[in-house]
Amino acid sequence: MNVLELEQPPLFAETENQEMIAQTVRDFAKKYITPFRNKWDDEQYFPIEVFKKLGELGLMGMLVPSYYGGADLGYFEYVTAIVELSKADPSIGLSMAAHNSLCTNHILLFGNESQKARWLPKLATCEWLGAWGLTEPNTGSDAGNMRTVAVKKGEYWVLNGAKNFITHGKSGDIAVVIARTGDIGDSHGMTAFVVERGTKGFTAGKKEDKLGMRLSETAEMIFSDCYVHQDDVLGEIGEGFIQSMKVLEGGRISIAALSLGIAEGAYEAALAYSQERHQFNKPIAAFQAISFKLADMATEIDAAKLLIYRAADMKNKGIKINKESAMAKYFASEVCCRVANEAIQIFGGYGYCKDYPVEKYYRDAKLCTIGEGTSEIQKLVISREILKKGK
Ligand SMILES: Cc1cc2nc3c(=O)[nH]c(=O)nc-3n(C[C@H](O)[C@H](O)[C@H](O)COP(=O)(O)OP(=O)(O)OC[C@H]3O[C@@H](n4cnc5c(N)ncnc54)[C@H](O)[C@@H]3O)c2cc1C
């Protein structure tokens, strides 16, 4: 047999586990998300009940060991779940990712045994929804310059300040909050605290009215003489910012997966439509102008997928992925914007209207080049790593 005829197994072929997760999420979405998403999007309704149900399926504690009530899965399965959820609705993918990758993972990575036993079982089942507060009104990309302070008073730390653009800033039952405990400009001058909803001095501020991702709640968290017990500090004093960068290293895989879900959703819709829609007595896919768009979309999606699975594979093996997760996030998020844009073009006027899903993908996509580090910041991370290693 000609060697060239041998079937080459695809790189990072889906495991049985991944296929099962994908099917479970598709069935779930058909029942609990798709029929309602347009109404929820119009009303900017945050469907917390969906996340409680996802918790029952084990999708809110995917990376948490079974010892703490989690699903004990790896990054391949995690990526699959986010991709499928995001195809159904990107905001649901975003919220699920923020809960898993940011709040829960920060406690998993840096909490002590008693903290993990106290909070992880509640987070893994979504009995409690998690939030993670790094960004402030005046410090987003420059988060290390934050102004929220924590001052020690006896056994307590007293927090004062505000965090904005926080996913679940209003509905989260628990938040990991990074606050300044040292000098401005010192990357070792910030500490991570866990603050439970109901703690005196911890309130929610304005909920944002957004262009897209409207089913995902984004709100301000305000701290006004908020007393947090010293036992609720995560890891060492002064290590909060460094911890956050490590949390974001894995978090970027989740935003890349979210981007991939959007891109695949928009592409699949456009591919089907291009074969149904006729103009000049032909399906529009017969025009090279359209089929070449599909070729570009498919190629970019595959390239994004390979970058994401490379980062996921390295993460599963415990390899440092600062550069690789930034590359995956940067590329996949830019691809999802381009693909959503071209999908609307293929749909023509119908794509501009809410009757087809591409209008919503287009609005939702833009968040991916901003959240968890903008594209410019990803390029900063990538270029620093390249120059550091001289390759
Ligand atoms: C829907 C949503 C959900 C979010 N969820 C969370 C959350 O759960 N927790 C949380 O902590 N944060 C969250 N964020 C905040 C998000 O991470 C920030 O918006 C993001 O990091 C960018 O910060 P910024 O908005 O302040 O923009 P800025 O930092 O003000 O950036 C503005 C522009 O300047 C560019 N820029 C800034 N610095 C540089 C530089 N050095 N070089 C080149 N260009 C630069 C940026 O790339 C961007 O184009 C969320 C944001 C949104 C919109």
Q: Whose CA is nearest to atom 48 of ligand 1?
A: 374
Please provide residue 183's backbone torsions phi and psi, each rounded to the nearest 5 degrees. Answer: -75, 150
Query: Per the structure block, which two tokens stand in for 146?
Result: 């934050």
Confidence band of 17 (pLDDT split at 50, 70, 90): very high
State whether the beta carbon of 376 lies less than 6 angstroms from ligand 1: yes
Residue 201: closest CA among 232, 240, 164, 157: 157
3-state secondary structure of 139: strand
Confidence band of 230 (pLDDT split at 50, 70, 90): very high
Instruction: Name, in order, each residue with C-beta under 8 angstroms of 132's C-beta and a sequence gap of 6 or more.
Output: 98, 102, 103, 106, 166, 167, 175, 176, 247
Cα angle value 339/380/256 (rounded, 5°):
35
Quick one: how far is CA 51 from the chain centroid?
A: 14
State whether the beta carbon of 258 lies less than 6 angstroms from ligand 1: no
pLDDT, mean of residues 211-219: 98
Between 123 and 16, residue with greater pLDDT? 123
Are the CB atoms for 333 and 255 separated by under 8 Å? yes
Cα 370 to Cα 263: distance, rounded to the nearest angstrom: 16
Residue 370 Cα, ligand 1 centroid: separation in angstroms? 6
pLDDT of residue 5: 64
Task: Select which of 49, 56, 372, 385 is catalytic.
Answer: 372
> In angstroms, what CA-CA distances link 169 with 50, 82, 173, 233, 250?
17, 21, 9, 19, 21
Atom of ligand 1 nearest to the CA of 131: 8
Residue 19 Cα, ligand 1 centroid: separation in angstroms? 34
pLDDT of residue 4: 56
State whether the beta carbon of 129 lies less than 6 angstroms from ligand 1: no
372 is a catalytic site residue: yes
State whether the beta carbon of 166 lies less than 6 angstroms from ligand 1: yes
Please provide residue 366's backbone torsions phi and psi, each rounded to the nearest 5 degrees. Answer: -60, -30
pLDDT of residue 1: 47
- Determine the residue type at 75: Y
- Res. 2: pLDDT tops 90: no
Are the CB atoms for 234 and 195 separated by under 8 Å? no
pTM given for the model: 0.96
Confidence band of 148 (pLDDT split at 50, 70, 90): very high
- Res. 367: pLDDT tops 60: yes
pLDDT of residue 120: 98
pLDDT, mean of residues 96-109: 98
State whether the beta carbon of 167 lies less than 6 angstroms from ligand 1: yes
pLDDT, mean of residues 52-67: 97
Atom of ligand 1 nearest to the CA of 375: 47
Between 5 and 262, residue with greater pLDDT? 262
State whether the beta carbon of 143 lies less than 6 angstroms from ligand 1: no
DSSP string, 285-354: GGSHHHHHHHHHHHHHHHHHHHHHHHHHHHHHTT---HHHHHHHHHHHHHHHHHHHHHHHHHHGGGGGST
- Res. 8: pLDDT tops 70: no
Q: Whose CA is nearest to atom 50 of ligand 1?
A: 165
Give rounded-to-5 percent helix, strand, coil for the chain: 55, 15, 30
Between 133 and 388, residue with greater pLDDT? 133
What integer best gives the mean pLDDT of the chain? 96
The total of other beta-carbon atoms located within 10 Å of residue 249's CB is 19
> In angstroms, what CA-CA distances link 380 with 7, 188, 348, 367?
40, 21, 36, 19
Cα angle value 274/279/285 (rounded, 5°):
30
Atom of ligand 1 nearest to the CA of 139: 26
